[in-house]
Structure 1
Amino acid sequence: MNNPIGSGATATEKVKASLAARYRRERRFKAIGIGAVCVGLLFVSFLFVSIVSKGYTAFWQTQIRLDIHFDAAVIDPSGNRDLTELGHADYASLIKQSLRKRFPEVKNRREKRTLYKLVSSGAAFDLRARVLADPDLIGTRQTLWLLADDDLDMLVKGQIDRSLPENERRLKDQVIGWIDALSAQGAVELKFNSTFFTNGDSREPEQAGIGGALMGSLYTLLITLLLAFPIGVATSVYLEEFAPRNCWTDLIEVNINNLAAVPSIVFGLLGLAVFINFFGLPRSAPLVGGLVLTLMTLPTIIIASRAALKSVPPSIREAALGVGASKMQMVFHHVLPMALPGMLTGTIIGMAQALGESAPLLMIGMVAFIVDIPGGPLDPSTVLPVQIFLWADSPERAFMERTSAAIMVLLGFLILMNALAVLLRKRFERRW
C-alpha cells in the first residue's frame, strides 16, 4: 500500500522531526532574547557604575579644623554691634591669622598666598553668617570646621596622583606637606556635604550645589502638573466620550499623535516666540518653563488618558445609562473614576519626561548662571538637567564630580516617579 505522505519516513516520524526542528528554533530564539536582555542590562549596569563611581564622593566634602579668634578689633572696631558694620568686616583675615599661627614657618609672601588657598573663599561668608546670627561670638575663640579648597578636596579623595612629578599636578609638594601635617593632627576630615543640596551654583566647585536647581525644577514641574493634568484629562474625556466622529476630530487626533513625536527643542522655540517675545513673560522663570513643558507633555497625557478611558468596559457605560444616568453622570461618576489610575500613571510618566528635559528650557534662557535660590515661579532659576549641562562644560575635576552626583540625584527622582506610576497601576488597576 502506498504511503500518502512520502516514500521515505512515516507521517509520525516526519511530524516528530518537524517538531524537533521547531523546538530547536524556539530554544535558539529564546537564547537570543535572553542574550539581548543580558547585553542591555550589562550596558545599563556599566552606565550606572560609571556614574556612581565618579559622583558618590561629591556627597562628602573635605573640611579643615581651625582655631578662629573673632577679633573685636577686626569685626566690630566701634563696639556698637551694628549689623551693617558686622556684615562688612574682613572675616577672611581671621582665617589667614589662624593659618599663619598654625604654620609659623611660612614667611614668604607668595607662600602665604598659597597657604591661604587651603581654605575655600566661602569660609569667610560662613564666619560672617555665624557672627550675624550670634554677635556674642565677637571676642571669643572657637574651633570650627571650615570648607577646604577644591584642589585639597580632590587630593584627600585620591583624585590627584601624588606620584606624578610636581610640574604635572595642580598641588605642589609644599602644599601636600601642609595637608599631610594637618591630617596628622586630625584637622582634615571628610564630612557629609549638606551644602551640595542647599547651595545654588557657584564659580567655586566646593561651594556649588543643586539647591537652586532643585527648587527651579520643583516650581517648573508644579506649574506643569497644574496645567497639563486638568487640560489633558478634559481633552481626552471630550474626544473619547463626547466628540462627534468627523473629519475635525480625526484631524485633532492626528495632530495630537504627531505632537507626541515632535522634538522637544521645537517646543522651546515655540515658548521663546510666544511666551517671551509676544506675551513678554520673564526669561529664565519657572513659569515660562512650566508653560513650555505643559505643551510638551500634553500629547503624552492625552494619549494615555484616552487609552485608560478605552479600557473601561462598555457594559459600565450601558449599565449607568440603563438605570437613568445622564451621559455626563455616566462619565464623571462611573467611567472617569475607573480610568483615573491609568490617567495618573500616564501623567507621572509625562512629568518624569518633563523632569529630564533640558533642550526646551535652554531656549527660554534657563541656562543662566543662577546663584540665589528662587523664591517663586517668577524668579530667575535653572533646573536640574540644565545645571548638569552647565557643570559638564566646566574643566575642573570637582565640577565633573558634581556633574555625576547631580545625575545620580536626577536618576533617583526619575526612578522614584516611575516606581510611583507602577505602584499606582498595581494598586488601583482593575482587570475585566
Structure 2
Amino acid sequence: MNLASPFSISLVAITALAFLGLPIGHAMIAGSVLYLLLAGLDMGTVAEQILNGMYVNYVILAVPLFILAAELMNIGSMSERLLRFCDAFVGRFRGGLAHVNILQSIIFAGMSGSAIADAAGTGRMIQLMMTKDGKYTASFAAALTAVTSVVGPIIPPSIPMIVYALVSDASIGYLFLGGVVPGLLMALAQMALVAAIARRRNFPVEPPIPLRRLPGITWRAFPVLMMPVVLLGGIYSGVTTPTEAAAVAAAYALLISAVFYRSVSLADLYRSVLVSARTSASIGMLLAGALVFNYVITVENIPASVQALLTGFDLSPLGFLILVNILLLLLGCVLEGTTILLVIVPVLIPTAQALGIDMVHFGVVVVVNIMLGLVTPPYGLLLFIMTRIAEVPLKALVLDVMPFLYVMFAALAAITFFPDLVLWLPRLMGYQG
C-alpha cells in the first residue's frame, strides 16, 4: 500500500481522530471527506451516500424500535416478574441463582436483541439477588451477568443480525432462525460450567418454591413470556416484517408495563424514550460513517483486493472461517462490534461468497464472534458496564470471566465446524441455502 495515497492518509486521519476521542462514526465521515478531497472526487457524495443508505434501507428502522422495546421492559416490572418465574424453576438447584441468571437471559433474548439492554436491565436486579447476604462474590455475579448477556443478540431478535443483513443482503428471518441453536448451545455450555463451579465452590441452594405457587407465578409472568411469541410469530407467519415486528414489540412492552402491570409513570416513559433516542442516534451516526467509508472502500476496490490476496493462499471454506474467527476475535478485543460489522465484515463477504460459504452460516459465526468481543479483555464493553454496576475491580471481573470465555469459544468452534447447527432450523422452515 502506498503510504502517501489518499486512502492511506484517510485511514491515518480516521485512526488519529478516534484516538483523540472523536466518535468513530464522525471520524469515518471526516476521513472519507478527506479521501474524496485528495482524490479529486465530488465531496457531495458523502451526503448522497448517507441519504441513500439511511433512508432507503427500511430495515434500519428496526434498530431504534428494538432499543425502545428493551428500555420499556426495563422501566416496568416485566424484568422482575421474569426473574421470579426463572427462580421458581431452576432456583432450587445448587448455584440456583446463577442458573436463574442464564435462564432469564435466554428468555430476555427473545425480546430485546441487545446484550447491553440485558446487562443494564435485568442485570442490575440479578446482581443484587446473587450478592445479597454474601451468597456469591460480586465479581462472579458480575462476570456471569456479562457472559449471559451476550446470548441475547444471538437468539432472535438480534440487532447485530439486522446490521449484518444490511451489509450482506441476507434474509433477516433466516438469520434469526440460524441463531436459535447456537444461542441455546452457548447457554447450555454456560449452565454446565456453572454446575461444575457450584459443586467446587459449594454455592448455596435456594429454598424451593412450593409447587402450589407455580401457577400463580407463571400467570403473573405470562404476558412477559408471550412477548417472544408475539414478536417471532408475527415474523414467521408473514403477518409482519422484522421492522414491523420491532414496532409491535415496543407497543406490546408499553401496553403490558403501563396498562396490565401499571408500573410505568409518565416520567419513566419520558426517560426511556430519551435513552432510546440517544442510543439510536449514536448507532445512527456510526451507520452513517460506515456507509460513507464503505463507499471509499468500494472506490479503492478493497474487497476484490482482499479476495485476490486470500485466494492466493488457496484457503478452503473451513480454513477461511477459522481465519475469520481469529481475525474477529482479535479485533473484538479493541474495536466496538458495530464498527466491525459495518467496516470489516463487508470486506470479507465477497471472499466468503466466492468460497461457497452460506451467508446465513457466515452471519451467525460473525455475530457470535462480535458478541464474544463484548466480554473479551481489554476493551470488552460489557466488562466496563458490569464494573460500574457491580462496583468491582476490572481485574477480579476478568478472572471470573475467563472460564466462561473458554466454553463459549468451544461453542463457537462447534458452529464453525458444523454448519448444520446453524442451518438446520432455517432449512426446516424452507431455507434453500
Which one has the bigger helix percentage?
2
Larger Rg, first or second structure (1 or 2): 1
- TM-score (normalised: structure 1): 0.25
| Structure with greater strand percent | 1
